[in-house]
Every structure is written in structure tokens, then in C-alpha cells.
Structure 1
């Protein structure tokens, strides 16, 4: 068993107010808690990992080439591997979510990518 204390977990803040926290995971599965300020959007991107995005607080809008869905607390969406997408906070308050990736990944996805 490997416990991860939230306050001691690896954290990555790519932009002011957009924070990601690496929670328990492995090469096969990983969890990233994240928060986004109002009006924030991640860049359009894709990755080899399948992803489940679960909204915990506020609202998150997930946009793909084909559709757009707004998640409220406890709603989730499955993104297929290599499906281009972005996640936006379209609300007036901070949004919090949890991303689950299979296979697992590290923050290298963000830190080593070309814009």
C-alpha cells in the first residue's frame, strides 16, 4: 500500500490558480486532483491515456472536436485515448476536479510538451 497525503503530494502549477496535485497512482493508473480559476481553459491537447474527468466543485466544461458537455459536482466524462480536448471553468467560482488516467502518467506530460 502507498498512501499519499494531499499536503505532501507532488504539485504542479502551470498557471496562476491552475494547480494539479498528483495523488496515488502507478504506471497503469494515475489520479490528478486539480483546480481552475473562473474563465480558465487548458490548451487543446490529446494524449495516449484514456481519461475520466470528475467534477468535484463548481462546473467544468469539457470540449472536444465533436461536442461540449458541462459537468456539475459528481458528473464525469470519459475521454478516449488521443481524443483532442480542453477543460474549461465556465463558472464564476473556482472549479475542482479529479482526472483519472489509464495508463498512468506524470506531470512530464505538461512540462515536456511543445506548445
Structure 2
């Protein structure tokens, strides 16, 4: 068993107010808690990992090249490997979510981008 205390979890802040925390996981899957300020969007991107995004608080809209879906508390969406997407907080308050990636990944995905 390998517990991860939320307050001690590895963190990454790609933009001001857009914080991510690495929760318990493995090479097979990882969990990342995140928060986004109102109006914030990640850039369009894709990755080898399948992804499930769960909205825990607020409102998150996920955009792909062909579609969009707005998630509210406890709604979720699955994204296939290499499916280009971005995640935007389209609400007026902070949004909180949980991303699950398979296979697992580290924050290198963001820190090694150009």
C-alpha cells in the first residue's frame, strides 16, 4: 500500500490558479486532482493516455475538434488516446476536477512541452 497525503502530494501549477496534484497511482493509471479559476482553459493538446475527467465542483467544458460537453458536479467524460482536447472552466467560480490517465503519466507531460 502506498498512501498519498493530499497536503504532501506532488504539485504543479502550469498557470496562476491552475493547480494540479498527483494522487495515488501507478504506471498503469494515475489520478490528478486539479483546480481552475473562472475562465481558464488549458491549451488544445493530445496524449497517448486515455483520460477520464470528473467534475467535482463548478463547471468544466471539454472541447474536442468536433464536439463539446459541459460537466457539472460529478459528471464525467472519457477521452480516447490521441483525442485532441482542451478543458475550460466556463463557470463563474473556481472549478475542481479529477483526471484519471491510463497508462499513468507524470507532470513531465506539461513541463517538457515546448
TM range (shorter): over 0.9
State the Cα distance separating 1:41 from its structure 2 match: 0.1
> In the alignment, what sits opposite 1:79?
79
Task: Find runs of 4+ consecutive structure 1 residues off by over 4 angstroms.
Answer: none
Q: Which aligned pairs between 1:82-101 and structure 2 lie closer than 5 A? A: 82-101=82-101
The two structures have a TM-score, normalised by structure 1, of: 0.98
- Map residues 15-94 of structure 1 onto 2, 5 A cutoff: 15-94=15-94
- Residue-pair matches, total: 114
Deviation at 1:7, TM superposition (A): 0.2
Q: In 1, Cα distance between the equivalents of 2:25 and 2:65?
A: 29
Aligned counterparts of 2:94 and 2:108: Cα–Cα separation in 1? 25
Root-mean-square deviation over aligned CA pairs: 0.3
CA offsets 1:63-95 (integer angstroms, 9 cap, x no match): 001100000000000000000000000000000
Q: Partner of 1:106 in structure 2?
A: 106
Provide the C-alpha distance between the structure 2 equivalents of 1:53 and 1:66, rounded to a whole number of angstroms: 18
> TM-score by structure 2 length?
0.99
Give distance in 2, aligned partners of 1:98 and 1:66.
23
Q: Secondary structure of 1:110's partner?
A: helix
CA distance in 1, matches of 2:44, 2:20: 17
